[in-house]
Structure 1
Amino acid sequence: MNTLHLEEIPRIAAISRADFIKQFAKPQKPVVIQKLTEDWPAYQKWNLNYIDKIAGGIEVPLFDDRPISSKYKFNEPHMRMKMSAYIDLLKTQPTNYRIFLYNLLKEIPVLRDDIKFPDLGFRYLRGIPFLFFGGENSKVFMHYDIDYANILHFHFDGEKKCILYPPSESKFLYKLPCALISHQEIDFNNPDFTRWPALQKAKGYITHLKHGEMLYMPEGYWHQMTYLTPGFSLSIRSMTRRPKHIVRGSYNFFIMRYIDNAMRNLFKEKWMSYKNKKAIKRSNKLV
């Protein structure tokens, strides 16, 4: 079986603000903090049954694993469903349908009382704590976030596998032009190095998150998630203060995505085909 070059992400029970800044935030290294949420109400309360009870009547956007195309954009849902029906689906069978980047805490404000913003030296974007849900074996494609934010990713009610790469490895990941994703035909759980030889040069990280654990993902880190069991996660974010990342994030948000949308509208699948071919050509040059 082909395996990627992945280092286990360090795991610690707890850490002081000063040590976190020194050891992880400043050097931009990922870490899992295992007991950060044990004094949160969410640690005791948050599971699928609880979410069903307080948010079951809300209609939520769902994404599956179909490739991004000229028809479906990066953040455009494929269908909608009542939360209660979706949770029933998660409990009864594996499904590719996921909830992605959804501010459920805005819809159900009482959920905000269940979380805290950790004192780790960040200035958080407190108005956008996003939730993510997935069924057994559902996957989130490899991508990085548009704004180069620092991300604290908390998992609840289940287990998920997380693969990360620092921005320095982008050249080996078959990154699509004018996009935040790698080539969507890559299976990062069982990569075909004959087809994707540059992946052998990429050096990344791996961890498995369980209930209540937090993964720190530094600015611009690539991440791919696989839900090993049904569950959900919370991400809170802090904007970058690094000038080069401010520039890159601003370019992504204010220029790149509009260029990409215009090219989709003009050339449709021809544009998508060009991007896929260009990603392969660029990365394979490095082999």
Structure 2
Amino acid sequence: MKSNQKLNLQAVDRVKTISPKDFVEKYVKPQKPVVIEQLTHEWPAYKKWSLSYLKEIAGEIEVPLYDNRPVSAKDKFNEPHAKMKLKDYVDLLKKGPTDYRIFLFNMMKEVPELQEHFKMPNLGVNFLKKLPFLFFGAENSSVFMHYDIDFANILHIHFEGKKRCIIYPPSETKYLYKVPNALISLNEIDFNNPDLEKFPALKLAKGYEAYLEHGEALYMPEGYWHNMTYLTPGFSMSLRTLPRSAKNLSKAVYNLTIMRGFENIMRKLKGDQWIEHKNKVAYTRQERRIEKELHGE
């Protein structure tokens, strides 16, 4: 254990409710995160949604599953590692820890009645009505530190149990061991128990931490890195808006077209050598950068 080694994190601002004007002026424009504690209290979902409820109304749906295996050339972007009926997956979650997670799943498309259980928040920004994605995880399951391919502003709403969120603004990318031509940090880094001797640049990264409970919503501005850990079995829903910045919108288009296409080609041509090369570059490049910073070059 490395319990004496801590990341440089501050608590995310918390509000019970917030007006559209304050949300835009205090958080969206300055691109600052916030937790809204009572956003969902008037939604039917606040009382209805639980793992047991989703098992009951959507149990026969086949869902894509992902685990924490190292990135492999055999896998395409966001290709699932397994599939299972939702009812069986919920049973698996309740039995105990498992690495299998559901990631970016549009359950509203499969079960339209779920759309009646929530409404798009009135926060002064336009959320995309067709893209409410769900995410599920077991106790202690965690996702690699990453940022989203589309640079969306995200409202991440948690249901059932408790979740820990570690997030970093884009300004801290230079300290996060970003893998080239990818959206992730080196996946051997455990952000819940980091080895700061092996990855010293993490000590320089200034981030945020939030704990979410049932019905609470975390606003993550565009391009924010995030690592989510389920402290208990649970699930979350993300609502998204397009990037406000023209620069980030162009980055999103690049990621969705050129970067993703090039990555799939290189994995096919070079195999796992390509993955190993990128991981090595991420580490050595970071070491050179921190060496320059520490010596003021």
Where on the TM-score scale, by shorter chain, does this alignment land: which range? over 0.9
Instruction: Tell me how far apart the structure 2 counterparts of residues 171 and 259 of structure 1 sit (CA, whole Å).
Output: 23
Residue from 244, 251, 261 that aligns with 2:247: 244
Contact 1:171 1:282 in 2 (8 A): no
Aligned to 1:76: 79
Where in structure 2 are the equivalents of 1:23-62 lying within 5 Å?
23-62=26-65
RMSD between superposed Cα atoms in Å: 0.8
Structure 1 segments of 4+ aligned residues over 6 angstroms from their partners: none
Q: Which moved more, 1:18-27 or 1:113-122?
A: 113-122
Instruction: Tell me how far apart the structure 2 counterparts of residues 75 and 254 of structure 1 sit (CA, whole Å).
Output: 14
Per the alignment, in what secondary structure is the counterpart of residue 32 of structure 1? strand
TM superposition shift of 1:67: 1.4
Aligned to 1:278: 281
Aligned to 1:64: 67
Contact 2:77 2:260 in 1 (8 A): no
Partner letter of residue 209 of structure 1? L
Instruction: Tell me how far apart the structure 1 counterparts of residues 17 and 71 of structure 2 sit (CA, whole Å).
Output: 39
Instruction: Tell me how far apart the structure 2 counterparts of residues 39 and 74 of structure 1 sit (CA, whole Å).
Output: 37
Per the alignment, in what secondary structure is the counterpart of residue 141 of structure 1? coil
Q: Do residues 257 (structure 1) and 260 (structure 2) align?
A: yes
Per the alignment, in what secondary structure is the counterpart of residue 90 of structure 1? helix
Partner letter of residue 230 of structure 1? P
Partner letter of residue 150 of structure 2? D
Q: Which moved more, 1:41-50 or 1:245-254?
A: 245-254
Aligned to 1:190: 193
Structure 2: any 5+ residue segments left out of the alignment? 291-297
TM superposition shift of 1:254: 1.4
Where in structure 2 are the equivalents of 1:1-287 lying within 5 Å?
1-287=4-290
TM superposition shift of 1:74: 3.8
Per the alignment, in what secondary structure is the counterpart of residue 163 of structure 1? strand
Instruction: Tell me how far apart the structure 2 counterparts of residues 92 and 265 of structure 1 sit (CA, whole Å).
Output: 37
Per the alignment, in what secondary structure is the counterpart of residue 266 of structure 1? helix
Contact 2:77 2:264 in 1 (8 A): no
TM superposition shift of 1:73: 3.1
Per the alignment, in what secondary structure is the counterpart of residue 252 of structure 2? helix
Structure 1: any 5+ residue segments left out of the alignment? none
